[in-house]
Structure 1
Amino acid sequence: MTKDIISLMRLIQFTDSAFPIGTFSFSNGLETAIHEKIVHDAETLEQYTQSIALQAAYSDGIVAIKAYNAGLQNDYDAIIEADNRLIEFKMNNESRLMQKRLGKKMTEMGVKIFDHSLLKKYLQDINSNKTPGSFPVAQGLIFATGGMSVEELFCSHQYGVINMILGAAVRILRVSHYDTQKILYKLSEQTPAFYEDIKDLGFDDMNSFVPQIDILSALHEKGKMRMFMN
């Protein structure tokens, strides 16, 4: 029971939106979606967030689980493969940049908290540009070295994706905290099904065919909207 409580506390810590890795700086394309009037109310916000969560489950989620398993087995080559496969998979530069910035900060925090040799080596290779340092890989390694379960990892991954968008929405869209919390509560119910679908998938099974999202990211990268980082 004590171990379960500690694991739950760590899950809360590493999933908290206040965890200092800079997720508040990104909107995952929402800023442009609002500017283009694709998202304009609570209903369209829910649809957009659900699309992003689905896309993330079948790409970042697969990579996070692969990195987690590689961390448990101390298979560093598999960790680096997961890192490179994700960055190669991302179609636009803004997504790659977000993954690398969050991943580096997540790894730095992990090194400070856990002082684990695997995380130290990974951070060294990020700093020397030997590996990209993507966020899902950093998540997977931290949950593995921190003694948390793979199910907890996937919950943290999905919660983080959804909450990043909803947190941004409160700042730039005319929705209330009641709206965003209702959306979060509803979309959380899809997490078990996503996990069952992707838990045994490999890199070649990754897919995220949501071209509209990539177009929005490209527009944001070249556009003049600057409340969120590109």
Structure 2
Amino acid sequence: MLTLLATLWQSDSAFPNGAFAFSNGIEGLAELGERLDRDRLAAVLATTLTHRWARMDAIAVLLAFAAVDDLAGLVGIDSRLEAATLPAPQRSGSRRNGLAFLTSHARIGTTGASALKVEVDARRLHGHLPVMQGALWHRCGLDETSALAASAYGAASTMVSAAVRLGLVGAVDAQRALAATLPVIAGLIEEIGARSPVSADDFASMSPLLDIATMRHATSEVRLFSN
């Protein structure tokens, strides 16, 4: 029960992790003229989770979860993720979101958060969000499966929230799209578990439309979100 409650706590949109400032490509897609109705939003979520989250974020979370007491290991994972994330807005967004997440945990008093923040402030760590999540969620009492669930749900709910705030889809249809994504998340977590163990050599991402949308969005004169 404590693991479940900790997972709900870390998945809660009210947790001050900085995610409200990021759309993860949704605003960029809108600028490209994409019509994100309920079905299209669900399709974008599924694509993002399958071809980006499962191949990048999920692996980083698992590796950092296992390396929680190994600072050199965390630095290596963080550096490999930095190198594997090609679009600059995604790199900077992940670092900024990771710092916000880390800062909140340091203020709350989560074990290890302050020490990691010192490393990020000294620029010995990039502080990418999935790496910080893996390390700190281990401290919060989540298990590996719960950490993956919280990471995937957080990524999906951030995009859904952005779509609503941009007026692209109504709140009810957004929740329908999110509900349709839950089986996708469950299937991906099962698949990742089946191919375990993973390594940083497994980092890969194939979401060209979102990557293009994110990079174009970075040059927009007017924007609501950072990426």
Q: TM-score range by the shorter chain?
A: over 0.9
Letter matched to residue 112 of structure 1: R
Match of 2:76 among 71, 75, 81: 81
1:181 is displaced (CA, Å) by 1.0
1:142 is displaced (CA, Å) by 1.4
Question: Aligned residue for 1:69?
Answer: 66
Determine whether 1:169 maps to 2:166.
Answer: no
The range that moved more, 187-196 or 155-164, is: 187-196
Correspondences of 1:114-153 after superposition (within 5 Å): 114-116=109-111, 118-153=112-147
Identity of counterpart residues, as a percentage? Answer: 25
1:20 is displaced (CA, Å) by 0.9
- For structure 1, list consecutive stretches of 5 or more residues without a partner in the other structure: none
Letter matched to residue 187 of structure 2: A
1:115 is displaced (CA, Å) by 4.3
Correspondences of 1:1-230 after superposition (within 5 Å): 4=1, 6-54=2-50, 55-71=52-68, 74-116=69-111, 118-199=112-193, 200=196, 201-230=198-227
Judge conservation of contact 1:158–1:191 (CA < 8 Å) in 2: yes
1:130 is displaced (CA, Å) by 1.1
- For structure 2, list consecutive stretches of 5 or more residues without a partner in the other structure: none
- TM-score, normalised with respect to structure 2: 0.92
Judge conservation of contact 2:106–2:113 (CA < 8 Å) in 1: yes
Judge conservation of contact 1:67–1:137 (CA < 8 Å) in 2: yes
Letter matched to residue 24 of structure 1: F
1:39 is displaced (CA, Å) by 3.2
Once residues 124 and 39 of structure 1 are traced to their aligned partners in structure 2, the CA distance between those partners, rounded to angstroms, is 43
Q: What's the secondary structure of 1:111's corresponding residue?
A: helix
Judge conservation of contact 1:102–1:135 (CA < 8 Å) in 2: yes
- Name the count of aligned residue pairs: 223
Once residues 187 and 222 of structure 2 are traced to their aligned partners in structure 1, the CA distance between those partners, rounded to angstroms, is 35
The range that moved more, 7-16 or 214-223, is: 7-16
Letter matched to residue 102 of structure 1: N
Once residues 49 and 39 of structure 1 are traced to their aligned partners in structure 2, the CA distance between those partners, rounded to angstroms, is 14
Once residues 17 and 219 of structure 1 are traced to their aligned partners in structure 2, the CA distance between those partners, rounded to angstroms, is 27
Letter matched to residue 13 of structure 2: S
